Structure 1
Amino acid sequence: MDLDLATCLFTGLTTECLQDKHANWEECRFTTTNKQRLFAKEVITFVRCKELRVLPNPFDISDEYFKNAFRLDKWLFQDFLLVLCLRTYYRPELDNNVMPFDLRVLTMLSYLAHGHLEILKPLDAFQGYRSSMLQRCVAEVCQTIVHFLAPDYVVFPSNNDETLGIKHDFNTQYGIPHVVGVMDCFHVRLSKVAAAREQQFQCRHGNLAINVQVVCDNKYRFLNVNPRAPGSASDIYVWKHSPIYGIMKNLFVTEPAWLIADRGYKLEDILINPHRNPTTHADFRFNSLISAMLDVLDTAVIMLTSRFRCLKTILPYNHQTAANIVTACVTLHNYLLSKNSVIDEHLMSVVPKRKSLPNAKCEDIWSTGYHNREYIKKYLNARNL
């Protein structure tokens, strides 16, 4: 098996290449559709190949306890570990960490799932490791995920060709054309920051936090995450200084491309939000569709924070590591969606209703976004004829 996995690593084959493929022996030695599963079962043996000690197997617990502790079942964890090995070109002989790589990844998953590491205490595989070492594992593995997995699993379209599928899905489901994604922000709390920067990270509720901007599609998949802004930054400020702001401007040059957001944002040529003072049937209908699209984002965020409860706690890390933790959670969320892994119902929190904002004195009728909104209403009316 080591030779087979080494073939995987050195040829750069991904797990997608192994799945449901009938490859010839001469090409890559994978001849059956379930070869990926056979490889995944041997990944732990591979990452521990230089270990002289006999270490407890983390799989020597019940399937139910494993999934509750790590949010992935045993097979899915092995697949994820294989993906990490492939993407990082992991070499056991070069790994000088006293804790095996598989245990470091499980430590990280446990913290993301619960916001603490208490659930590891009864497990033999984690005995003898100091809490400080376990906390370092969380930061290190999250950083690895950000560098090697996030660019492949959290992808915002960079040209109009890449937007076609997303635009088609939104148009099919909601009847609104040219939509690239739905955007909003949420806060993740921090335990402490440098004294000189406390005011910068203090959000409107008085807590230390980072302001996380996310964009999702109609299938609860996150297209972008920007967790670098301090808590005092407004949603509009984060948006204006976000890399995707420039990307959206470039997309809009050749074809219409819009993000959907709530009324906390300003109406722009590349950003559409609800009417502030709906008066006609068309206005109310438009607002209803925008509200339905915003509900998708709300559901995606609740799925994220319900599966990875650390995002609801106060993170005991600096803001750079906290940003990596958020990105790692988003990456894992998209990875699980790609594997059709459904969140357990008992984990899913209730999606809160959005608080209605007070009506404004006037609409932004002078902006290009206003004309785009009128175009959408005419488009909706024409579709019903």
Structure 2
Amino acid sequence: MVFATLRFLATGSIYSVVGEICGVDKATSCRAIDKVITAISELHHEFISMPTNLDEISEIRQGFYNICKFPRCIGALDCTHVRIQSPGGENAELFRNRKGFFSFNVQALCDSELIIRNVVCRWQGSAHDANIFKNSRLRARLENKDFGADSLIVGDSGYGIKNYLITPLANPHTPAEQLFNEAQIRTRNPIERCFGVWKRRFPILSLGIRQNIRKIERIIITTAILHNIACLMRDQLPQVNDEEEAAIVITNNVEIPIQQPMNAANVNNLTRHLLITEYFQRLL
């Protein structure tokens, strides 16, 4: 059952093909894979979690600081598209993203070791990254300062600047601003690498999930759990073929910058301004 499930996640094959390899019929293969995916996905609280104590927060901060001396960072945030087949029905077009294919827009936050700390995989491909984050429990926990009063996460310009979510400057001018942008971009890089590694380990995420839409969330969560286990065990990256590599590039998410109301932008820009003037200026 486990072998059939891993084969399914690694190839995205239909149940009958996986069943032939394992020597069972399509129905048996379907039942076995569904049972294993359900069992693994129910372990998400154990393997996908934000830091829970000061020591763990400090360790994650140090990991990001070691990349490019960006302070107080506990996570890199972004979204990626997971290709699916058309779900059919009246709402099918909600799943068509701006690149023209059907997908789930999956939000993830990882640490510097590429371990997924938070994942949201219930939004259609047409959903904007910023809207997914706005409606997430992660945002509420950050606003409640559950991970420390001064902890930060980093994201790209598809997100609005917040006092806990730091985005890059659109047009850096001074040396301190340029240094800040370089550090912010390099500190954000782990989430891009995480998506690449995640999809290489489980090509079903990039080649396409051909399953009933009700099963897709459990499949994504299962691959995230297995990815984290592989990271913890220092598993080597698998070889990928040209088709898989092309699919990973196509499903990479690049969001259009959003415009915030001027009063909100000014308030939230203060944290970024202080980082530049009181921290990165001193590094020059």
Shorter-chain TM-score: what band?
0.7 to 0.9
Structure 2 residue 227 is the aligned partner of structure 1 residue 333: yes
- Could you tell me which of 202, 211, 227 is aligned with 2:96? 202
In structure 2, what residue type is equivalent to 1:269? N
Corresponding residue number in structure 2 for 1:87: none
Whole-angstrom CA distance in 2 between matches of 1:244 and 1:159:
16
Identity percentage of aligned residues: 22
User: Against the structure 1 CA distance between its residues 356 and 187, is the aligned structure 2 distance closer, same or farther, given a 3 Å change threshold?
Assistant: closer
Structure 2 residue 12 is the aligned partner of structure 1 residue 115: yes
Corresponding residue number in structure 1 for 2:205: 311
Whole-angstrom CA distance in 1 between matches of 2:88 and 2:254:
33
Corresponding residue number in structure 1 for 2:34: 139
Whole-angstrom CA distance in 1 between matches of 2:187 and 2:147:
24
* Greater Cα shift, 285-294 or 323-332: 285-294
> Is the 8 Å Cα contact of residues 252 and 270 (structure 1) preserved in structure 2?
no
Per-residue CA deviations over 1:159-184 (Å, capped at 9, x if unaligned) read 65542211122123321111110010
| Shift of residue 217, structure 1, vs aligned partner | 0.7
Corresponding residue number in structure 2 for 1:374: 273
User: Against the structure 1 CA distance between its residues 366 and 320, is the aligned structure 2 distance closer, same or farther, given a 3 Å change threshold?
Assistant: same
Per-residue CA deviations over 1:172-228 (Å, capped at 9, x if unaligned) read 332111111001001112223251321332222332221100111111111111111
> Is the 8 Å Cα contact of residues 12 and 210 (structure 2) preserved in structure 1?
no
Whole-angstrom CA distance in 2 between matches of 1:362 and 1:375:
20
* Greater Cα shift, 208-217 or 286-295: 286-295
> Is the 8 Å Cα contact of residues 210 and 227 (structure 1) preserved in structure 2?
yes
In structure 2, what residue type is equivalent to 1:379? Y
Whole-angstrom CA distance in 2 between matches of 1:142 and 1:112:
10
Per-residue CA deviations over 1:144-165 (Å, capped at 9, x if unaligned) read 11102x2211111256554221
Whole-angstrom CA distance in 2 between matches of 1:238 and 1:108:
29
Corresponding residue number in structure 1 for 2:113: 219
Q: Give the CA RMSD over aligned residues.
A: 3.0
- The secondary structure found in structure 1 opposite 2:145 is helix
- The secondary structure found in structure 1 opposite 2:80 is strand
- The secondary structure found in structure 2 opposite 1:212 is strand
Q: Which runs of 5+ in 1 are unaligned?
A: 1-103
User: Against the structure 1 CA distance between its residues 309 and 259, is the aligned structure 2 distance closer, same or farther, given a 3 Å change threshold?
Assistant: same
In structure 1, what residue type is equivalent to 2:236? V
Per-residue CA deviations over 1:2-58 (Å, capped at 9, x if unaligned) read xxxxxxxxxxxxxxxxxxxxxxxxxxxxxxxxxxxxxxxxxxxxxxxxxxxxxxxxx
Whole-angstrom CA distance in 1 between matches of 2:237 and 2:148:
39
> Is the 8 Å Cα contact of residues 269 and 367 (structure 1) preserved in structure 2?
no
User: Against the structure 1 CA distance between its residues 224 and 362, is the aligned structure 2 distance closer, same or farther, given a 3 Å change threshold?
Assistant: closer
Alignment of 1:234-273 (within 5 A): 234-251=128-145, 255-273=149-167
| Shift of residue 313, structure 1, vs aligned partner | 2.0
User: Against the structure 1 CA distance between its residues 356 and 227, is the aligned structure 2 distance closer, same or farther, given a 3 Å change threshold?
Assistant: closer
- The secondary structure found in structure 2 opposite 1:138 is helix
Count, aligned residues: 277
User: Against the structure 1 CA distance between its residues 264 and 277, is the aligned structure 2 distance closer, same or farther, given a 3 Å change threshold?
Assistant: same
The TM-score normalised by the length of structure 1 is 0.65
Corresponding residue number in structure 2 for 1:287: 181
- The secondary structure found in structure 2 opposite 1:157 is coil
| Shift of residue 358, structure 1, vs aligned partner | 7.9
Whole-angstrom CA distance in 1 between matches of 2:17 and 2:41:
25
Q: Choose between structure 1 and 2 for higher RCO, CA contacts under 8 A separated by at least 6 residues.
A: 2
Rg larger in 1 or in 2? Answer: 1
Q: Which runs of 5+ in 2 are unaligned?
A: none
- The secondary structure found in structure 1 opposite 2:71 is coil
* Greater Cα shift, 164-173 or 130-139: 130-139
